[in-house]
Structure 1
Amino acid sequence: MKIKEILPNLPDNSIVSSDIKCVISDSRQVTAGDLFIAITCDTVIDNIRAAIKNKAAAIVLEASVHDKVRQHFPTTIFIVVANAREALSVAAAHLYPTQPNNIFAVTGTNGKSSVITFIRQILGELGQTTASFGTVGLELTAQPEIASLINVPKLTTPDAMSLHRMLHQLASRGIHNFAFEASSHGLDQYRLHQVRVGSAGFTNLTQDHLDYHDSMEAYFDAKIKLFTEVLADGRAATINVGCPYGKSLALMLRQKNKRVITYAVGAPADLVASKIHLESGRIKFNLVFDSKDYGQQEIAMAGIFQVENILCAIGMIMGMGYSLTDILKAVPRIKSAPGRMELVGHRSNGAAVYVDYAHTPDALMRALQALRFHVKEGHRLHVVFGCGGNRDALKRSLMGKIADDFADVIIVTDDNPRHEDPSFIRAQVLANCPRGKDIGDRKQAIEQAIANLNTGDILLIAGKGHETGQLIKDEVIPFDDGQVAAKVLQKYEAANRSQTTSAR
């Protein structure tokens, strides 16, 4: 293939007419005959040097660094573009041109995994072949064997080449609908700009990733690119106006004459949940759209935030042209996403144990508030949680304060410390959590928390949810909150049976 076939907007010359074997953005993977796209970064000169050494056929780089790079490689002819990341997306889309017919993308701090899971399940109930991809991996409504045939990326929002390869493989195998999480990193780095998104959703925006974005304003600016730069013209945006950032986004999009479906719990919107009634493990609510009440809905989940996530999924599917009446037929059968307010089990005294992915201040607060409703007077709400290393350190004291405010018994433990000192991370959390107990070993923390449970208590193990590993330095140690908790509960159940047998 020729360079001009995958980067068609370049000026025609002898270089872009050259043949290449492959498009690569990692200089370590370059082989003779490849086109290397040099992403601008601190090591761009070293990366280009490595690509030249590996006999790259041509090199693409940004105009902003061209003069600096030319000083090091005066005899090398470069293909100069305005944005190397965007060029990589364009090349990926030309190399893998096929995509599922209907693509749903949701962004926001919390709730993304639940929304795409609900979209996949609802469309599956409507007889549509659907895949979802995000934090919990690739999931399909039918033909699960297809997943083993797909090159599944490891990141929530993978690099452009990996993403387009996956889309191409899914579409080629008959998957017509695809729902995925659009992360702020992926949007900021132009990984999604050639994906043909037909319905986009915004869940909320609360503090996270400030180690990357520096400010909430920059974080928000990255998120809104989904609606202003990626979402196809004339297609609908589904926005949570119960969130201040969502309210601003909806107003901005409507001023640009974009199609917008707003949703909220307890606030005016196009799509509203009213008359909410919480029961043990179930939620009932009335759904209102355009002031028309569509009757009571019931879902087997805990937490009002799940109602928000369902509203987002419903709005996004409506935005793709499905009728609300058909969608609501499927809603009672949907289940929560793995590791999202997931009930692990009970102790013999009736105390319940939940795991949840809550790893941001807002998510932890919402999860504790959701479970607090089910804690009867005289009983206690317990929490085990930690904060990740080499990530937004500002949220640590906030999460400590939230735990201290909303839980009765608190254990602070390790959660993916990476290359930081775990005890230092815990100390930052505990500085604002005077009632917290410091137990660094996560397994011991869970064991101790379950041992502390009295009749009617509830325990939330927060932070990891579906994850199956603990990241310590560069090593992933196998660890699953749900499995660890289940084994501890089984131990207590076995002990209880033994005592019952002995009493006879």
Structure 2
Amino acid sequence: MVSINKQFPEAFYQSIKPLLAHFGIDAPDIMISDLVLDSRDVAIHKAFIAVAGHALDGRDFIPQAVSLGAKVIVAQCDDKTRHGFVEMREQSVIIYFNQLPEKLSELAGYFYQFPANSMSVVAVTGTNGKTSTVQLISQLAHLMGERAASIGTLGAGIYSSSTDTQILDNIVNTTPDAISIQRLLAEFVAEGAFQVALEASSHALVQNRIKAVKTDIAVFTNLSRDHLDYHGSMAEYAAAKRLLLSQPELAYVVLNANDPEHKNWLANIPETSSVVLYGQNISAADMPTKYQYCVANNVRYTAEGIALSVQSSWGDCELRLSLLAEFNVANVLAAICCQLCLGKT
């Protein structure tokens, strides 16, 4: 990835007043250069967003932000009657915002000018295969000449056309926080990316981290037992994954037909979204006619990789992959489906 420009936030230098007006708040006319969730990143012109998280409550760090000279602090309030209330604490203006966790993605979207609207966005969820699928989607886009980026477990980055490589910057979570996601997308747009693939973890979906990110394609890989300490049950875990269906402007839903959970996704597909099924050892003739498909048969494993026959709604082909293991067949099929949905051939 091209190194993050230290001056990048200056491109979004703006007044907090029109920004918060979108949420019915009459805020003072104070200029800010960025939004931050960590009080250690606070500076005079960076607005500190004090929101309750899973492990820590940002509101506990308001005194630290004040001591560091933050001109603006936007603080979560649980009482809706205090929404928009403004108070001064030393030189800091504290603005109270009801339902801030639910609205944070949208707030950051307004600040960074909704960068997802300027690129194709693919969000991948599932217990296994997210990381590989995201990387394959971006690599395939890059091989077809499109500047592409990825966000996930391995980090965040954009491919360099000069070296055919991708250097990934470290990120804290598989799916970064709501502000970081919008900031990364804005950076990718500034660097000329036309497509991004990102991992959408169940935690991120429940916590609304990508709620206001326009998503062209949602991909479901598979479901097995995981994160039950957080979700409580398999039913809740599965439901958390399906929250991806609520993404704005979702055009396509790409589903692994080999996983039984895909039927629950089919039962909840938005009317405006088209479905594409992928899978292995499934006859193309058995695919429901109302859905598009991409399936692999006659899969052969060799020391050099994998060979397979692909049948799809777009045509058939023979494919050879320099990859190993059965699960990579599914990951490649998902990546192919995404590019076909985006009009690539």
Q: TM-score, normalised by structure 1?
A: 0.55
Structure with the bigger RCO (C-alpha within 8 Å, sep 6+) is: 2
Which deviations, in whole Å up to 9, do the C-alpha atoms of 1:343-375 show, x marking residues without a partner? Answer: xxxxxxxxxxxxxxxxxxxxxxxxxxxxxxxxx
Indicate how the Cα distance of structure 1 residues 244 and 56 shifts in structure 2: closer, same or farther if over 3 A, else same: same
SS at 1:253 equivalent: coil
Is 1:244 the counterpart of 2:260 in the alignment? yes
Q: Which amino acid aligns with 2:73?
A: I
Q: Which amino acid aligns with 1:156?
A: T
**Map 1:284-433 → 2, pairs under 5 A:** 284-290=307-313, 294-322=316-344, 326=345
Contact kept, 8 Å, 2:256 with 2:278, in 1: the verdict is yes
Runs of 4+ in 1 over 4 A off after TM superposition: 65-68, 73-78, 144-148
Q: Between Structure 1 and Structure 2, which shows a larger proportion of strand residues? A: 2
Q: Which amino acid aligns with 2:19?
A: I
In the alignment, the residues of structure 2 paired with residue 144 and residue 172 of structure 1 have an alpha-carbon distance, to the nearest angstrom, of 19
Report what 1:51 is aligned to.
65
Indicate how the Cα distance of structure 1 residues 236 and 6 shifts in structure 2: closer, same or farther if over 3 A, else same: same
Max Rg structure: 1
Contact kept, 8 Å, 1:153 with 1:163, in 2: the verdict is no
Unaligned runs of 5+ in 1: 327-504
Q: Which amino acid aligns with 2:226?
A: D
SS at 2:78 equivalent: helix
Instruction: Give the CA RMSD over aligned residues.
Output: 3.1
In the alignment, the residues of structure 2 paired with residue 8 and residue 169 of structure 1 have an alpha-carbon distance, to the nearest angstrom, of 25
Which deviations, in whole Å up to 9, do the C-alpha atoms of 1:27-52 show, x marking residues without a partner? Answer: 33334454332212464542233334
Which deviations, in whole Å up to 9, do the C-alpha atoms of 1:102-148 show, x marking residues without a partner? Answer: 22221111111221222222222222222223222335162459967
Report what 1:61 is aligned to.
75
In the alignment, the residues of structure 2 paired with residue 65 and residue 192 of structure 1 have an alpha-carbon distance, to the nearest angstrom, of 24
Which deviations, in whole Å up to 9, do the C-alpha atoms of 1:317-339 show, x marking residues without a partner? Answer: 122122xxx3xxxxxxxxxxxxx
In the alignment, the residues of structure 1 paired with residue 228 and residue 207 of structure 2 have an alpha-carbon distance, to the nearest angstrom, of 16
- For residue 245 of structure 1, report the CA deviation from its aligned partner: 1.7
Report what 2:223 is aligned to.
205
Report what 1:39 is aligned to.
51
In the alignment, the residues of structure 2 paired with residue 60 and residue 184 of structure 1 have an alpha-carbon distance, to the nearest angstrom, of 26
Report what 1:142 is aligned to.
161
Q: Which amino acid aligns with 1:273?
A: A
SS at 1:190 equivalent: coil
In the alignment, the residues of structure 2 paired with residue 30 and residue 129 of structure 1 have an alpha-carbon distance, to the nearest angstrom, of 33
Contact kept, 8 Å, 2:50 with 2:57, in 1: the verdict is no
Indicate how the Cα distance of structure 1 residues 43 and 180 shifts in structure 2: closer, same or farther if over 3 A, else same: closer
Indicate how the Cα distance of structure 1 residues 262 and 25 shifts in structure 2: closer, same or farther if over 3 A, else same: same
Is 1:3 the counterpart of 2:7 in the alignment? no
In the alignment, the residues of structure 1 paired with residue 315 and residue 58 of structure 2 have an alpha-carbon distance, to the nearest angstrom, of 57
In the alignment, the residues of structure 1 paired with residue 164 and residue 319 of structure 2 have an alpha-carbon distance, to the nearest angstrom, of 33
SS at 2:75 equivalent: strand
Which deviations, in whole Å up to 9, do the C-alpha atoms of 1:179-211 show, x marking residues without a partner? Answer: 221222222222212323222211011112223
Indicate how the Cα distance of structure 1 residues 22 and 305 shifts in structure 2: closer, same or farther if over 3 A, else same: closer
- For residue 67 of structure 1, report the CA deviation from its aligned partner: 8.7
- For residue 173 of structure 1, report the CA deviation from its aligned partner: 1.9
Which deviations, in whole Å up to 9, do the C-alpha atoms of 1:360-403 show, x marking residues without a partner? Answer: xxxxxxxxxxxxxxxxxxxxxxxxxxxxxxxxxxxxxxxxxxxx
Q: Which amino acid aligns with 1:275?
A: N
Indicate how the Cα distance of structure 1 residues 116 and 2 shifts in structure 2: closer, same or farther if over 3 A, else same: same
Q: TM-score, normalised by structure 2?
A: 0.78
- For residue 239 of structure 1, report the CA deviation from its aligned partner: 0.9
Contact kept, 8 Å, 1:274 with 1:287, in 2: the verdict is yes
Deviating more after overlay: 206-215 vs 4-13: 4-13
In the alignment, the residues of structure 2 paired with residue 245 and residue 16 of structure 1 have an alpha-carbon distance, to the nearest angstrom, of 49
- For residue 220 of structure 1, report the CA deviation from its aligned partner: 2.1
In the alignment, the residues of structure 1 paired with residue 154 and residue 211 of structure 2 have an alpha-carbon distance, to the nearest angstrom, of 23
Deviating more after overlay: 106-115 vs 293-302: 293-302
Contact kept, 8 Å, 1:40 with 1:61, in 2: the verdict is no
Is 1:278 the counterpart of 2:292 in the alignment? no
Contact kept, 8 Å, 1:152 with 1:166, in 2: the verdict is no
Report what 1:459 is aligned to.
none
In the alignment, the residues of structure 1 paired with residue 94 and residue 32 of structure 2 have an alpha-carbon distance, to the nearest angstrom, of 15
Report what 1:260 is aligned to.
275
Percent identity for Structure 1 against Structure 2: 29
Unaligned runs of 5+ in 2: 1-13, 288-292
Contact kept, 8 Å, 1:200 with 1:231, in 2: the verdict is no
- Which of 145, 165, 181 is the equivalent residue of 2:199? 181
In the alignment, the residues of structure 2 paired with residue 287 and residue 24 of structure 1 have an alpha-carbon distance, to the nearest angstrom, of 47
Contact kept, 8 Å, 1:242 with 1:265, in 2: the verdict is yes
Which deviations, in whole Å up to 9, do the C-alpha atoms of 1:409-457 show, x marking residues without a partner? Answer: xxxxxxxxxxxxxxxxxxxxxxxxxxxxxxxxxxxxxxxxxxxxxxxxx
- For residue 63 of structure 1, report the CA deviation from its aligned partner: 4.0
Indicate how the Cα distance of structure 1 residues 44 and 156 shifts in structure 2: closer, same or farther if over 3 A, else same: closer
